[in-house]
């Protein structure tokens, strides 16, 4: 039974709770149906566990910003916690270890050039490799999935480990495969079973593959940290790992939350968070740009005009490219790369929109419901850059633009992600024309569901632009 004054929801079955109400293929449609029946705040039982799904900009802002202290914790008894050994930052509960590590990452990302030229240079360095790959395919069709995943992985790898990998290198192939597989397994049926029926956890069921993948990643990261320890000069950090090792020296064994094991899981957290997100957003972007050639051409006209005579695009050039900015934001809105997140209520009986939420309740902010919320967007259900342009053709960002979430747990890589999306999209559109191959049939925009939404694999044709 639902507790007193708990948000409403569909009838609860014994043992299973409401899991039959959700399609495992893609529960986002079911979440939307339930919102229509029960309102912006409703509850579901994942097996025996109560969860409250929150929808729409106002409720999500109320929970994640106004009541951030109550709703910024992460559940600690799920599959994802076991996979990450309760270390790292993404899944850390709201407390001193999370706070210290988050602050450290933000500071280090800033010191390594976020907002400064050196980060731009690193991204441009990687773009050269994307261009090489595309140039080899001029006039032919290629599948861009692996290329964009590797590029995003390399950019964050340079920040973390000071190195990039050739696209056919074993390290990058293995790690990107593990990340993409685990992103899908984590939101799959076996994980749902793992989370709701603890006695199955030790059984050799398909979720064991995710543990194997996690171990593979950990041993790769461990190897990199060991190499860093041999070659580093204390006080002269080359990258994130060196900075963390300096911090460990400084803190000693004073009972601080910093440790070598933390470093390994933390680096993997950042690597994962920075790879699958940015690459899937880029993949969505190029899918829509190919199938909307008039939008692609209008971007190219603006890019040519603003960059005339310039060798490189800089991040600051975005201020002179309102249309391109609108397109990239619209891509992020429609890509909806991180559709849901998971918190838990950390304080006793909190009130939310008139309902009472007991401590420990899982809270699922449905970011999808904000990115296509009626009343917040001119065209909530179609790909249309006008969503980010005012009547004068100037770029405007509606308040409901929340692909990075909101509040204290919002994406800590937003700055890096935005820089990557802008520099990569503009440089590639300036040089190439992207064409939906004639024999590719009708485009299928339905994404594949997981921790991140992924466009279905597609082919692209590239031509050098006449201006190049
Ligand atoms: C287009 C690209 C990206 C999107 C759409 C995105 C989106 C998000 C969202 C929605 C969250 C909140 C998730 C939640 O509360 O469960 C998040 C958290 C996070 N993101 Fe990103 N992200 C992107 C790129 C990046 C990059 C490049 C990095 C790496 C530096 C990164 C690192 C993180 C981390 C570490 C967190 C967890 C923060 C915390 O719990 O305190 N993200 N991201």
426-456 tens-digit pLDDT = 999 999 999 999 999 999 999 998 888 999 9
- Cβ of 335 below 6 Å from ligand 1: no
Across the range 63-89, mean pLDDT stands at 89
Environment class of 136 (CB within 10 Å of its CB; exposed 0-12, middle 13-18, buried 19+): exposed
- Residue 411 assigned to a binding site: yes
Lowest mean pLDDT among 45-49, 232-236, 331-335, 336-340: 45-49
Tell me the CB-side half-sphere exposure of residue 86, using CA atoms within 13 A.
8
Whether ligand 1 lies within 6 angstroms of the CB of 403 is answered as yes
pLDDT confidence of residue 114: 54
Q: What letter does residue 377 receive in the DSSP assignment?
A: B
| Pocket mutation for ligand 1, best pick of 277, 362, 447 (most atoms within 8 Å of C-beta) | 277
204 CA from centroid of ligand 1 (Å)? 31
CB 236 within 8 A of CB 104: no
Atom 41 of ligand 1, residue of closest alpha carbon? 409
14-18, 165-169, 252-256, 257-261: which has the highest mean pLDDT? 257-261
Q: Atom 21 (ligand 1): residue with closest C-alpha? A: 411
**Averaged pLDDT of the chain:** 92
Residue 167 pLDDT level (bands cut at 50, 70, 90):
confident
Does 365 sit in the ligand 1 pocket, CB within 6 Å? no
How far lies 212's CA from each of 152, 178, 190, 204, 208, in Å?
23, 9, 15, 12, 6
- 324-328 long-range Cβ contacts below 8 angstroms, 24+ apart: 324/299, 324/422, 324/425, 324/426, 324/429, 325/388, 325/395, 325/422, 326/385, 326/386, 326/387, 326/388, 326/389, 326/395, 327/285, 327/289, 327/295, 327/299, 327/385, 327/425, 328/285, 328/421, 328/422, 328/425
Cα–Cα distance for residue pair 363/352, rounded to 1 Å = 11
| Closest residue to atom 36 of ligand 1, CA basis | 411
User: Going by CA atoms, what residue is nearest to atom 27 of ligand 1?
Assistant: 274
Dihedral, 29, 273, 455, 323 alpha carbons, nearest 10: 100
Average pLDDT (169-175) is 88
pLDDT reading at 116 higher than 60: no
270 lines ligand 1 (CB under 6 A): yes
Q: Does any ligand 1 atom lie closer than 6 A to the CB of residue 72?
A: no
Q: Would the CB of 186 count as within 6 Å of ligand 1?
A: no
Q: What is the pLDDT of residue 77?
A: 81
| CA-nearest residue, atom 3 of ligand 1 | 277
Could you tell me if the ipTM is greater than 0.95?
yes
pLDDT(254) > 80 = no
Percent of the chain with pLDDT over 90: 71
**Ligand 1 neighbour 404 (Cβ under 6 A):** yes
Calculate mean pLDDT across residues 127-134: 97
Ligand 1 lined by 275 (C-beta under 6 Å)? no
CA of 419 to the centre of ligand 1 (A): 14
Would you place residue 113 in the very low, low, confident or very high pLDDT band (cuts 50, 70, 90)?
Answer: low
Between the CA of 219 and the centroid of ligand 1 the distance, in Å, is 23
Question: And the tokens for 189?
Answer: 């049926």
Kindly state the average pLDDT of the residues 228-237: 95
CA of 35 to the centre of ligand 1 (A): 25
pTM: 0.95
């Amino acid at each position: 039974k639902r507790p007193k004054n708990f948000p409403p929801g569909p009838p609860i079955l014994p043992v299973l709770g409401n899991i039959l109400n959700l399609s495992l293929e893609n529960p986002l449609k079911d979440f939307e149906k339930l919102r229509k029946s029960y309102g912006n705040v409703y509850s579901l039982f994942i097996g025996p566990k109560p969860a409250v799904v929150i929808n729409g900009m106002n409720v999500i802002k109320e929970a994640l910003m106004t009541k951030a202290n109550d709703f910024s914790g992460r559940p600690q008894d799920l599959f994802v916690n076991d996979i990450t050994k309760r270390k790292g930052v993404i899944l850390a509960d709201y407390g001193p270890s999370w706070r210290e590590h988050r602050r450290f990452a933000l500071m280090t990302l800033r010191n390594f050039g976020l907002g400064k030229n050196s980060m731009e240079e690193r991204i441009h360095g990687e773009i050269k490799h994307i261009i090489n790959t595309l140039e080899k395919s001029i006039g032919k069709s290629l599948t861009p999935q692996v290329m964009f995943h590797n590029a995003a992985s390399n950019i964050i790898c340079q920040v973390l480990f000071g190195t990039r990998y050739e696209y056919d290198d074993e390290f990058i192939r293995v790690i990107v495969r593990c990340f993409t597989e685990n992103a899908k397994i984590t939101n799959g049926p076996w994980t749902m079973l793992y989370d709701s029926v603890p006695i199955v956890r030790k059984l050799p069921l398909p979720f064991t593959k995710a543990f194997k993948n996690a171990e593979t990643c950990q041993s790769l990261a461990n190897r990199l940290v060991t190499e860093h320890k041999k070659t580093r000069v204390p006080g002269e950090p080359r990258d994130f790992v060196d900075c963390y090792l300096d911090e460990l020296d400084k803190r000693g064994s004073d009972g601080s939350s910093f440790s070598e094991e933390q470093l390994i899981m933390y680096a993997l957290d950042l690597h994962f968070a920075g790879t699958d997100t940015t690459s899937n957003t880029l993949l969505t972007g190029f899918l829509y740009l190919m199938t909307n050639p008039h939008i692609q051409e209008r971007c190219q006209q603006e890019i040519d005009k603003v960059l005339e005579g310039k060798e490189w695009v800089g991040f600051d050039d975005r201020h002179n490219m309102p249309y391109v900015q609108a397109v990239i934001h619209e891509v992020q809105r429609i890509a909806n790369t991180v559709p849901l997140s998971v918190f838990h209520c950390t304080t006793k009986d909190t009130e939310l929109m008139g309902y009472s939420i007991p401590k420990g309740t899982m809270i699922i902010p449905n970011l999808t419901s904000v990115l296509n919320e009626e009343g917040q967007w001119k065209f909530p259900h179609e790909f249309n850059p006008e969503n980010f342009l005012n009547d004068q053709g100037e770029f405007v960002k509606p308040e409901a633009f929340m692909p990075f979430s909101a509040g204290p747990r919002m994406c800590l890589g937003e700055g890096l992600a935005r820089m990557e999306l802008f520099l990569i999209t503009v440089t590639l559109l300036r040089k190439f024309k992207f064409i939906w191959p004639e024999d590719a049939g009708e485009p299928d925009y339905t994404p594949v569901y997981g921790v991140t939404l992924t466009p279905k694999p597609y082919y692209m044709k590239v031509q050098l632009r006449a201006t190049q």
